[in-house]
């Protein structure tokens, strides 16, 4: 069974540019999470989807971040415009009908 897939794995952009990250969860997993991870720290939740509904987006900086999961399967996280402080690893995770969430490899973003 394929795990959580994320792309790209690495992205380098200049500040003020837009960037998008894509995630495909484990097949059949209805719950999808986007996390931000700064170096040396644990993941911090940005947004959680149950199917296509965003049920927890309280930590998402909505002035520049947006996310969508239109068909309840794959998801896109966007930043526009990116700032220097957005440099981090963006992790996607999914959960099926158990309590366990599984992570993808992450996208490492560097904003110059």
Q: Can residue 14 be called a binding residue for other proteins (CB under 8 A)? A: no
Taking CB under 8 A as the rule, does residue 72 contact other proteins?
no
Question: Within a 10 A sphere around the Cβ of 86, how many other Cβ atoms?
Answer: 19
Question: What backbone phi and psi angles, to 5 degrees, belong to 48?
Answer: -130, 135
Q: Between vectors from CA 10 to CA 68 and to CA 59, what angle results, nearest 5°?
A: 40
CB of 1 to other proteins, least distance (A): 13
Q: Does 22 bind other proteins (CB under 8 A)?
A: no
Which CB sits closer to other proteins, 26 or 79? 26
Question: Please, which residue, 42 or 85, has the CB nearer to other proteins?
Answer: 42
Distance CA 92, CA 75 (A): 9
Q: How far is the CB of 36 from other proteins (least distance, A)?
A: 11
Candidates 67, 88, 91, 109: give the one binding other proteins (CB under 8 A).
91
Residue from the set 40, 53, 63, 97 that interacts with other proteins by CB under 8 A: 40
Instruction: Give the list of residues 6+ apart from residue 27 with CB closer than 8 angstroms, or none.
Output: 1, 2
């Amino acid at each position: 069974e394929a795990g959580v897939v994320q792309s790209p794995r690495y992205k380098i952009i200049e500040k003020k540019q837009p960037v998008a990250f894509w995630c495909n969860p484990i097949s059949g997993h209805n719950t999808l999470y986007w996390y931000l991870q700064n170096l040396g720290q644990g993941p911090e939740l940005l947004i959680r989807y149950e199917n296509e509904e965003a049920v927890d987006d309280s930590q998402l900086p909505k002035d520049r971040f947006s996310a969508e999961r239109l068909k309840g399967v794959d998801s896109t996280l966007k930043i526009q415009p990116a700032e220097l402080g957005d440099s981090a690893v963006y992790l996607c995770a999914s959960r099926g009908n158990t309590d366990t969430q599984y992570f993808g490899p992450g996208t490492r973003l560097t904003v110059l």
